[in-house]
Amino acid sequence: MSGARLAHIVRHPVKSAGFQTVTRAALTEGRPLPFDRLYAIATEAAGFDAAPDGWVPKMNFVRGAAEGHLQAIRATFDEATGALRLTHPARPPFAGTLPACGPALVDWLRPLWPANRPAPRALVARRDGGALTDVPGPWIAILNLASLDALAGRMGRPLSIHRFRGNLWLDGLPAWTEFDRIGHEIAIGPARLRIEQRITRCVATAHDPETGAPAGDTLAALESGWGHRDFGVYATVTRGGEIALDDPVEILP
């Protein structure tokens, strides 16, 4: 579709512990966004002792659905060195090098986590090098700025893209058109991705990523306005390539 473009690329080096916007990313066929959710913080209730062998459900980890104030963490990650910096309005800045900084990171995060939940235990990564995403497939989350504007209009307040923890934000498409493309491909610059399914949302999206405080019931607005709790779609990379901000987006037949 002429005029559509890639507006934002967002990754989350440690699951539920900060978002980072980047200007470009090298997509690989059948792989998630590079450096997205490579690590996660397992809780004392996690169903594994050390690193998981493969994908495991999100209930094993510290996550925004269990504590919305995590939504206000911002991350800066250098993939060349592993250097990580995190900020949060209620905590001093954190700096370390992944994965060696794991114990210090767990200690930094602990005051943000509710005492009535299983405590943060350890920073972990998958043994197979895969991402610790919410779904088992090696998918990338694609979202539509026009759909965000429609939801914001329904709620009567501006909404940050970072409420939704997506990867690729598209501009210039009609609102909700992403739901009509399940099973079809889109081109972003030189890459192609196949739209797989909708993303059903959780209560973490009701928190303001500037403060972490509750700020508007996104789920109720989706339900009352459109009869579902879905926002964004998952996609599989079918042809790799380096993508960059402002790359053209084409909806393929």
Contact 128, 55 (CB under 8 A): no
pLDDT tens, 13-52? 999 999 999 999 999 999 999 999 999 999 999 988 888 9
Classify 69 as helix, strand or coil.
helix
What pTM was computed for the model?
A: 0.95
Q: In CATH, which of 3.30.565.10, 2.40.33.20, 1.20.140.10, 2.40.37.10 is domain 1-253? A: 2.40.33.20
Domain boundaries, the chain: 1-253
Name which of 58, 59, 93 is nearest 73 in CA terms.
93
Determine how many CB atoms are found less than 10 A away from the CB of residue 180: 10
Examine the pLDDT at 2 and tell me if it is beyond 80.
no
Examine the pLDDT at 1 and tell me if it is beyond 50.
no
Q: Sort strands 185-188 and 91-97 into parallel, antiparallel or unpaired.
A: unpaired
Contact 68, 212 (CB under 8 A): yes
pLDDT tens, 90-133? 999 999 999 999 999 999 999 999 999 999 999 999 999 999 99
Q: How far apart are CA 183 and CA 156, in angstroms?
A: 33
Give the single-character DSSP code of 119.
P
